C-alpha cells in the first residue's frame, strides 16, 4: 500500500507540475520549437572499478580490431565530456550495476560502486538479476543506506545508499502488490521525462530461489505498458525504458545491429507506442538498432556491452508544444570508454581507496599459470578456464564420491590472464583477487546422484528453445572425466551421443555422482533435470575449490580441448 501511494504521488506531482507549466506558458516569450535531451546509459557494470583485464577489458571495432576500454575513472571522464557537449542530459543504468563484482567492490558489499554511481549523478536504474544476489533486504540497504547487518560499514561510515531509484515495473510481491517503484519522472528544461524500469521475467531461472522468495516477476511488455499508461495519464509524453533483458549478436562493432530475433527485440517491438527509446542489458552485447513500435514509428534499441566499456548515447529532440519526442530526429550511438582520456581525479581517488583497502587480501598469491586461461568457448562449447574450474570442483568433492563435475558458463565472469596486473605480482602469478573476479558468487558445491538417462537429459538441456522460435545455448563446462559428442544437425532432445564417464560408456540405468554448484542443483539456467537429483551432499564454496586446486597445480597450463566433440 505504501508503494502504491508513492507511485500515485509521483503521477500526481507530475500532473501538478504540468498544470503549473501550462498556466505560465501564455505569458512567456515564444520558446524554441524543440529542446534537446541526451540520454547516457551503461549496463552490466558489475562493480568493475578498475579497468577490466583480458577480453573483458576490450571492445571489438567494426574492422575486427580491438581497443582497451573501461575503468571507472575513464568512464566518469567520458560521461562528463558527453554532458558538456549537450544542453540537457540524464545518466541511466540498465541493471546489474552490482553483484558478480571484483574484490575491490565486492569486499565492501559493492558500496564503492554505489558511491561511483552517485558521483556520476545517475538518474535511475532498473533492477537486474544480480541486484538480487544477496537478497531483497540487502537491495533495500543498497537503496536507502545503512551498515551491513553482519559486516558493518567497512568502506565509509555511514553508507548513505543510492541517490537514484531502483526501478522494477514487473516485480511484485506474491500477493500481487508492487515491490518497488515502476517508474520515475525527471524534468529537463521544464519537460517531464518518464523513465520506466523492467527486468527479465525469467529472473527466477538465473538466481537462487532463496534470494527471491516471496516475489514474482511478470511479463515485461504488460508491465511496461501499465507504467506507460500511468505516464500518459499524467501527461508525460517523453518516455524511455530501462530493460534488463538483451539479445545475442553475430559480431560487429559497437554500432552494428546484428541481433537475431530475441527477447529484447520482441519487447521493444511490442511495448507501448508512447515509449521513445529502449536501453537494454543482461546479455553483455554491443548493438545499436532501430525497431518499429506498434504504431509504426521507429525507436532505438541499444546496449553497451558490459563492465563500463561502452556508453549508450541517445540524443532526443523534444517538441516543446507537445512535450513528445520527434522520432525522426533521434540519433543513437555507442561510445567506447577509451583509456586515452584523463581519468576523473575524484573517481580515481575513490578507486584507489578501494584498491588500497582490499589490497592485503586481493594481492595474495594462490597459484601460477603458463598462459592465459580464457572463458571464451570453442565451437564445441568447451573453454580452457571452464575445464579448469570443473576439474577443480571435481577434486574438491571427492569426499562425496563425485565422478564428474559440471559448471555453468555464466558463473565464470572473466579470464585468468598470464600478464601481471597493475599490482605487480608478476607474469603468470594468480592472485586471490584475480580468482575472485573469475568466481565471485560464493556458490556452494553440491554432489547429487543422477541416472545415466538423467545425465543425458541434462546435457540435452544445453539447447533451450525460446518462445520466439530461437534456441538459447548454454554450454556446461565439464570435468576431464566426462566426454561426449553433439550433432549440429540432430533434432532438439537428441543432439548428444557417445557419453562416457572415466572412459566407460554411460549406462542409462546406472547411477553417477555429479558435482554442481547450488544454483545449478536448484535447476538454475534452465537445467531443470538437475533439480531431480538425489542423495545431495554439500561441499566447499566454488571459489575455495578453485583456489585450492590452483595451489596444488603450479604452472598450470590450459588443458587440451578434447572433452566435447562436434559432429555433423
Per-residue model confidence as pLDDT tens digits over 454-499: 999 999 999 999 888 889 999 999 999 999 999 999 999 999 999 9
- What pLDDT score does 28 carry? 52
Average pLDDT over every residue of 504-511: 98
Q: What is residue 442's predicted lDDT score, i.e. its pLDDT?
A: 87
> What is the per-residue pLDDT across 21-68, written as a single tens digit (0 to 9) for each?
333 344 455 666 999 999 999 999 999 999 998 889 999 999 999 999
The pair phi, psi for residue 262, each rounded to 5°, is -160, 175
Pairwise pLDDT comparison (4 vs 426), residue with the higher score: 426
Kindly state the average pLDDT of the residues 75-92: 98
Collapsing DSSP to helix, strand or coil, 198 comes out as: strand
Q: Are 73 and 347 in contact (CB under 8 A)?
A: yes
List domains and CATH numbers for the chain. 2-345 (3.60.21.10), 364-567 (3.90.780.10)
Q: What are phi and psi of 554, to 5 degrees?
A: -60, 145
More confident residue, 183 or 3: 183
In this prediction the pTM is: 0.88
Among the listed residues 408, 410, 416, 407, the one whose alpha carbon sits nearest the alpha carbon of residue 435: 416
8 Å CB contact between 93 and 124: yes
pLDDT at 16 exceeding the cut of 70? no
Mean pLDDT of 265-294: 97
The average confidence (pLDDT) of the chain is 93
Alpha helices (H) in 415-483, listed in sequence order = 432-438, 452-460
- Model pLDDT, residue 359: 94
Residue 13 pLDDT > 80: no
Region 97-109 average pLDDT: 95
pLDDT at residue 260, rounded to an integer: 66
Please write the tens of the pLDDT for every residue from 522-533: 999 999 999 999
| pLDDT classification of 134: cutoffs 50, 70, 90 | very high
Average pLDDT over residues 406-416: 94
Residue 530, SS3 per DSSP? helix
pLDDT above 70 for 444: yes
> Could you tell me the pLDDT band of residue 15, with boundaries at 50, 70 and 90?
very low
SS3 content of the chain, % helix, strand, coil (to 5): 30, 30, 40
CB atoms within 10 A of CB 437: 29
pLDDT at 14 over 60: no
Higher model confidence: residue 4 or residue 543?
543
Q: Give the distance from CA 374 to its chain's centroid.
A: 19
> What value does the mean pLDDT take over residues 149-165?
96
Which one, of 330, 323, 226, 326, lies nearest residue 278 by Cα? 330
**Per-residue confidence (pLDDT) for residue 259, from 0 to 100:** 78
**Alpha-carbon gap, residue 440 to 391, rounded angstroms:** 18
Amino acid at each position: 500500500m505504501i508503494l502504491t501511494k508513492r507511485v500515485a504521488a509521483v503521477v500526481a506531482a507530475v500532473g501538478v507540475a504540468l498544470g503549473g507549466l501550462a498556466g505560465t506558458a501564455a505569458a512567456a516569450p515564444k520558446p524554441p520549437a524543440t529542446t534537446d535531451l541526451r540520454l547516457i546509459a551503461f549496463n552490466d557494470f558489475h562493480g568493475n572499478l578498475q579497468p577490466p583485464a583480458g577480453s573483458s577489458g576490450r571492445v571489438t571495432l567494426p574492422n575486427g580490431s580491438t581497443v582497451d576500454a573501461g575503468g571507472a575513472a575513464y568512464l566518469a571522464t567520458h560521461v562528463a565530456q558527453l554532458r558538456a557537449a549537450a544542453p540537457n542530459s540524464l545518466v541511466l543504468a540498465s541493471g546489474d550495476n552490482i553483484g558478480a563484482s571484483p574484490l575491490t567492490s565486492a569486499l565492501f558489499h559493492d558500496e564503492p560502486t554505489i558511491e561511483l554511481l552517485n558521483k556520476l549523478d545517475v538518474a535511475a536504474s532498473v533492477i537486474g538479476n544480480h541486484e538480487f544476489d544477496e537478497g531483497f533486504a540487502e537491495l533495500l540497504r543498497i537503496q536507502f543506506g545503512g551498515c551491513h547487518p553482519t559486516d558493518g560499514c567497512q568502506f565509509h561510515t555511514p553508507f548513505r545508499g543510492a541517490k537514484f531509484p531502483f526501478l522494477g515495473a514487473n516485480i511484485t510481491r506474491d500477493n500481487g502488490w508492487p515491490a518497488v517503484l515502476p517508474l520515475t519522472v525527471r524534468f529537463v528544461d521544464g519537460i517531464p521525462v518518464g523513465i520506466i524500469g523492467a527486468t527479465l521475467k525469467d529472473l527466477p531461472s538465473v538466481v537462487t530461489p532463496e534470494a527471491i522468495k516471496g516475489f514474482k516477476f511478470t511479463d515485461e511488455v504488460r508491465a511496461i505498458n501499465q507504467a506507460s499508461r500511468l505516464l500518459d495519464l499524467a501527461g508525460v509524453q517523453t518516455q524511455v525504458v530501462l530493460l534488463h533483458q538483451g539479445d545475442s549478436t553475430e559480431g560487429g562493432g559497437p554500432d552494428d545491429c546484428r541481433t537475431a530475433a530475441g527477447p529484447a527485440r520482441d519487447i521493444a517491438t511490442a511495448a507501448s507506442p508512447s515509449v521513445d527509446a529502449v536501453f537494454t542489458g543482461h546479455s553483455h552485447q554491443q548493438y545499436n538498432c532501430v525497431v518499429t513500435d506498434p504504431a509504426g514509428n521507429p525507436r532505438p534499441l541499444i546496449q553497451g556491452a558490459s563492465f563500463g566499456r561502452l556508453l549508450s548515447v541517445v540524443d532526443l529532440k523534444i517538441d516543446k508544444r507537445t512535450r513528445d519526442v520527434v522520432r525522426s530526429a533521434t540519433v543513437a550511438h555507442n561510445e567506447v570508454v577509451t583509456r586515452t582520456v584523463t581519468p576523473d581525479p575524484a573517481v580515481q581517488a575513490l578507486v584507489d581507496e578501494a584498491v588500497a583497502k582490499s589490497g592485503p587480501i586481493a594481492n595474495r598469491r594462490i597459484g601460477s599459470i603458463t598462459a592465459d586461461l580464457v572463458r571464451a568457448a570453442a565451437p564445441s562449447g568447451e573453454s580452457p578456464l571452464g575445464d579448469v574450474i570443473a576439474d577443480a570442483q571435481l577434486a574438491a568433492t571427492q569426499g562425496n564420491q563425485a565422478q564428474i563435475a559440471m559448471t555453468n558458463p555464466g558463473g565464470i565472469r572473466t579470464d585468468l590472464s598470464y600478464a601481471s596486473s597493475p599490482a605487480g605480482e608478476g607474469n603468470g602469478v594468480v592472485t586471490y583477487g584475480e580468482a575472485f573476479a573469475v568466481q565471485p558468487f560464493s556458490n556452494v558445491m553440491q554432489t547429487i546422484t543422477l541416472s545415466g538417462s538423467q545425465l543425458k537429459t541434462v546435457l540435452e538441456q544445453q539447447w533451450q528453445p525460446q518462445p520466439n522460435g530461437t534456441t538459447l545455448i548454454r554450454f556446461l563446462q565439464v570435468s576431464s572425466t566426462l566426454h561426449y559428442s553433439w550433432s549440429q544437425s540432430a533434432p532438439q532432445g537428441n543432439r548428444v551421443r557417445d557419453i562416457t564417464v572415466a572412459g566407460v560408456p554411460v549406462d542409462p540405468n546406472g547411477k553417477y555422482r555429479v558435482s554442481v554448484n547450488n544454483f545449478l542443483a536448484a535447476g538454475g539456467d534452465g537445467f531443470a533435470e538437475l533439480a531431480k537429483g538425489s542423495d545431495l551432499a554439500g561441499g566447499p564454496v566454488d571459489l575455495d575449490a578453485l583456489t585450492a586446486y590452483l595451489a596444488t597445480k603450479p604452472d598450470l597450463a590450459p588443458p587440451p580441448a578434447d572433452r566435447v566433440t562436434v559432429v555433423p
